[in-house]
Amino acid sequence: MKVKFICKYENKEDGLKAYEFETPDYIQNDIDGNSSDIFRLDCLKGEWMILERFTDAPYMISEDVTHLFDLDDIIKQMQEVESEIDDEQEEYDEWWQEEGMYEQWEVH
């Protein structure tokens, strides 16, 4: 499946690199039954996974849905266009300072 990468950013404190992408069609998450077309490819300390992204909350993710994708293919697609993906590092850093750190503490 061909996907479109829409932005990238990283959390240097946690060692996370994130690449958000859209799928051509909605994909149903078999864990909670929701459908989405926005996902995030994460590399956390060398481990890759794909997470469903909340559509109404920037940078927030929910379930690990790696099993719904060909992970190696998604990584390859990202690597082919990585230099062209919009960099949202500044926006992400602002969000992290204002909301992200708070959200992290609320979850735990």
Structure tokens belonging to residue 71:
């992970």
Q: What's the rounded Cα separation, in Å, for the pair 87 and 105? A: 26
Q: What is the pLDDT of residues 46-98, one digit of tens each?
A: 999 999 987 777 888 888 999 999 999 999 999 999 999 999 999 999 888 88
Compute the Cα dihedral for 22, 75, 17, 40 and give only its sign.
positive
- Are 4 and 21 in contact by the 8 Å Cβ rule? The answer is yes
Amino acid at 108: H
Which residue range(s) make up the domain with 70?
4-107
Q: What is the pLDDT of residues 18-50, one digit of tens each?
A: 999 999 999 988 777 788 899 999 999 899 999
**Beta bridge mates, 6:** none
pTM of the model: 0.86
